[in-house]
Structure 1
């Protein structure tokens, strides 16, 4: 977050939620909170199915270890998917990759696609040799150990997404951001196939398993100083997760429609100025125990949501009505107060630093407070405040609030580069408050939390949340 001196009244984008609980002509189809893009929310194991035989694909330079076997199995499975989908969707035959290659970034290295691999903690596709290569020394073990096998599946599916682009004839001069977000989208399409139980080798749960995938996308996002049109740009976490969800929800045909114009229209990564300015803004962490910052947050919420009744007040009194563990903010409907654990909010609002413990970042803390404010908005609109639908509506309205403080809008509180990525990180935690009801009970699937937040942010329309989540 960044703060500016002074305050000019925002032009309100808000529409009163009152009456949205009833059927509205042209309203969006309500979302079922027990499902993820039409699939039931599950929390079973993700990764190789028990008893599956290894695909035994040849791996150039491999050591025959478990990581190389897992990677080769993932490649075999993704290629199986594309043997079905490329003819069905694009009327093209899928030609298997020419080479799979493994290397150890910590070792002496080798030359692949004309580049040395020593110190290269990465996975990549090389069109000139039609090869997918991966680092078995650090990257894949780190993803497997810290996140899970679903993260390894996603990384390999992404690289084969580039091979699909090559087979579809995507021009080599296509901007990096288009190639990368198409590949993220193709990854989502593949994992939808796995989640539907169609893979003979792998499984992925739509709850914990997809959370692992989204966590992987978060960890390999662009830094705050990178603009979407920079050479080599992949996208920030918010935009990469969006692309993945497009593929998971709508399939590979949607992915091929991602182009520079489409990304420019929805990207939250560009438009913040120079890389140096981006880095400075991202480094300015605003503390919620700063009285002026708390006043700016309150003002931004009152400007975003035009309540007919008295707006809720912020206090550090005792929490009420919360059943979830470690809820750092709570809304008391009877007293119309938002009670804050400022110490805890400052802790979660402190970004992690190398060698030191930290939380997530300032926007995560500010958005948690904003989410409790939206409960007052929902109460005025006549909505229930408890249950999974209320939790999704809360995430949506919090996303809408975020849209009112984007760069370029006049106000003291302004989104900084990386802020929306902090929202992604918060929504992937076990007890996300951004996507929680009045009792602090969160939507079980991170995928659904992020989708609801993005609905509010992308629409820039408060009424969308009342129509879609009712």
Structure 2
């Protein structure tokens, strides 16, 4: 992916110099809250990697790798701003309000409560912010066999996909439905939410290729590999567990790859209606 030397977004809040201490103590209640929240909106990697060694006691200057991760994330966010700033008015008849990307280390506080890095990246509709511990990119590469710039870009684009869902009123409706649903039905609704966000990430990938020429040979394969790596069945299997479809909250590897590619092939919001295809 060609990203160096390109425009970055101004909507990035870097809290990584604060360490986990700057996030405040999460506590037992906060941890339970983020486990429930993050498992819906984020990429729950805790069964696979346990507690990430986030270097939470480190403060001060960022390493060169940290700085590159920050610059990279800023460029990807800028691309999503341009893409969705065009697509949402054209295809949905509404303006796009840009989100803020918060980079953190170890733990963080949001309008949705406290979060641990082990929960993976997540989106908080309460403050319209994406939260990312950039060490997750290392986890993807070293522990999930899903390295590469475009794999990392897919992760950001997926969380932006949740922001698009929030802009369209989808997240609010799903939350209401889940409050009335059984555990199995609630999990199924969560899966549909995640698959649609994957589809929206595919739309971004298509537009990034056409508008910016930033997609290189092999990039799409990296994104597909990342989608596979965060499938519930792959994560459960990698943790030594038997995959249990009723417990899936993000979708299988096959589903996640399928919906990512649907967005990439069509570039259309109406082709990402995972809820409609499920009869909802």
Picking from 2, 5, 9, the partner of 1:55 is: 9
Matched, 1:208 2:210: no
Structure 2 equivalent of residue 220 of structure 1: 230
Report the number of matched residues.
207
Picking from 264, 272, 275, the partner of 1:248 is: 264
Q: CA deviation at 1:186?
A: 0.5
- Cα 1:130–1:244 change in 2 (3 A) is same
After the TM superposition, which segments of 4 or more aligned residues of structure 1 sit over 4 Å from their partners? none
Structure 2 equivalent of residue 43 of structure 1: none
Which entry has the higher C-alpha Rg, 1 or 2?
A: 1
User: Structure 2: how far apart are the matches of 1:53 and 1:96?
Assistant: 16
Root mean square deviation of aligned Cα: 2.4
Picking from 172, 176, 183, the partner of 1:173 is: 176
Q: CA deviation at 1:119?
A: 4.3
User: Structure 2: how far apart are the matches of 1:119 and 1:158?
Assistant: 17
TM-score (norm 1): 0.41
| 8 Å CA contact retained: 2:199, 2:262 | yes
SS in 2 for 1:120: helix
Matched, 1:262 2:277: yes
- Cα 1:164–1:54 change in 2 (3 A) is closer
Q: CA deviation at 1:222?
A: 0.4
Structure 2 equivalent of residue 127 of structure 1: 125
Q: CA deviation at 1:131?
A: 0.9
Matched, 1:192 2:206: yes
User: Structure 2: how far apart are the matches of 1:163 and 1:114?
Assistant: 14
SS in 2 for 1:94: coil
| 8 Å CA contact retained: 1:226, 1:233 | no
Structure 1 equivalent of residue 79 of structure 2: 77
User: Structure 1: how far apart are the matches of 2:251 and 2:278?
Assistant: 10
Deviations 1:381-422 (A, max 9, x none): xxxxxxxxxxxxxxxxxxxxxxxxxxxxxxxxxxxxxxxxxx
Structure 2 equivalent of residue 149 of structure 1: 149
User: Structure 1: how far apart are the matches of 2:227 and 2:97?
Assistant: 27
SS in 1 for 2:176: coil
Deviations 1:121-179 (A, max 9, x none): 5111111111101012x212334676211011100110011111111111133511111
Q: CA deviation at 1:60?
A: 4.2
SS in 1 for 2:131: strand
Q: CA deviation at 1:258?
A: 1.6
| 8 Å CA contact retained: 2:102, 2:132 | yes
| 8 Å CA contact retained: 2:227, 2:253 | yes
Picking from 96, 105, 110, the partner of 1:112 is: 110
Unaligned stretches of 5+ residues in structure 2: 18-61, 178-188, 234-241
Question: Mapping of 1:16-55 within 5 angstroms?
Answer: 46-48=1-3, 50-55=4-9
User: Structure 2: how far apart are the matches of 1:194 and 1:144?
Assistant: 22
| 8 Å CA contact retained: 1:62, 1:101 | no
| 8 Å CA contact retained: 2:12, 2:103 | no
- Cα 1:238–1:222 change in 2 (3 A) is same
SS in 2 for 1:116: strand
Picking from 137, 141, 144, the partner of 1:140 is: 137
User: Structure 1: how far apart are the matches of 2:229 and 2:93?
Assistant: 35
Unaligned stretches of 5+ residues in structure 1: 1-45, 265-470
| 8 Å CA contact retained: 1:177, 1:235 | yes
Greater helix share, structure number: 2
Structure 2 equivalent of residue 29 of structure 1: none
| 8 Å CA contact retained: 1:143, 1:149 | no
Question: Greater shift after overlay, 187-196 or 57-66?
Answer: 57-66
Question: Greater shift after overlay, 124-133 or 139-148?
Answer: 139-148
- Cα 1:225–1:142 change in 2 (3 A) is closer
Structure 2 equivalent of residue 322 of structure 1: none
TM-score (norm 2): 0.67
User: Structure 1: how far apart are the matches of 2:111 and 2:139?
Assistant: 24
